[in-house]
Amino acid sequence: MMKLTFLMILAMFIAPLSSASDQLPIEIHDRVVLQPDSDKKVALTLDACSGKFDDDLIEYLIRHQIPATIFATKKWLLKNPQGVSIIKAHLDLFDVEDHGEKHIPAIIGTDRKVYGISGEPDIIHLRREVIEGARAVEKATGIAPHWYRAATAEYDPLAIEEIDKLGYKIAGFSVNADAGATSKKITIEKRLAHVKAGDVIIAHMNKPASDTAEGLAVGLDYLTKAGFVFVRLDQVELKVINKKTH
Ligand SMILES: [Zn+2]
């Protein structure tokens, strides 16, 4: 009885300590590797989580010939055939990469949540999320993806290892332009006004009712006039600048 009580007390102290340090999701911040002679490269990345197709945003990019990398889920690709056909007609501008099958964060534990979305039950499900997402992108565009960005862009260390083993490079970001398509137009404009060479901008193309297209249009006009050159992730490498835990 005495022993059991002692072990129980010990477990109460140890368990929270080990789970807290092992299970904090990591947000990866990275930047484009710049060549000395072309130091004004920036990458625009757009997530297509679930939801709809922001045609105002994609039309703006086509009209201004601004390349972007789209991270699409299988869920989004199946729901938006018209959007997919527009993207497919402009694969010179758009690189489509893997955002997973069902938009589940790369954290293990269904009791754990990132921005209100539950994690995976186990590593097998994580593997499926990555592989089925990649298959869906290849089926829709004819091009196999090489980059992965998990739902919410948060990862467990174990998930990072697994995604790497599957052969995918993880795409982080350095400028959060629209906070999951929740930011106001003026906020998005201000964030883009602070972009520097090498930045990887993240925004969303799945919420047409948001201010994202309007805010990006002003911000991207400014960046183009300032001489920035937009690159896609299939044309560059990224380097990790820091890993932030939540
Ligand atoms: Zn997403």
Q: What angle do the packed helices 157-165 and 123-141 form, to 10 degrees?
A: 50
Q: Which residues pair with 245 in a beta bridge?
A: 26
Helix/strand/coil percentages in the chain, nearest 5 = 40, 25, 35
Residue 26 near residue 156, CB atoms below 8 Å: yes
Which of helix, strand or coil describes residue 98?
strand
User: How far does residue 206's CA lie from ligand 1's centre (Å)?
Assistant: 9
Q: Tokens for 127, please give them.
A: 């593997």
CATH fold group of domain 27-245? TIM Barrel (3.20.20)
Which residues touch 234 (CB under 8 Å, ≥6 apart)? 69, 95, 97, 146, 147
Query: Rounded to whole angstroms, how far apart are CA atoms 121 and 34?
Result: 39
User: How far does residue 192's CA lie from ligand 1's centre (Å)?
Assistant: 20
pLDDT tens digits in sequence order for the chain, 246 residues long: 445 555 555 455 444 444 444 578 999 999 999 987 668 999 999 999 999 999 999 999 999 999 999 999 999 999 999 999 999 999 999 999 999 999 999 999 999 999 899 999 999 999 999 999 999 999 999 999 999 999 999 999 999 999 999 999 999 999 999 999 999 999 999 999 999 999 999 999 999 999 999 999 999 999 999 999 999 999 999 999 988 886
Strands 113-114 and 94-98: unpaired
User: How far does residue 193's CA lie from ligand 1's centre (Å)?
Assistant: 24
Global pTM value: 0.90
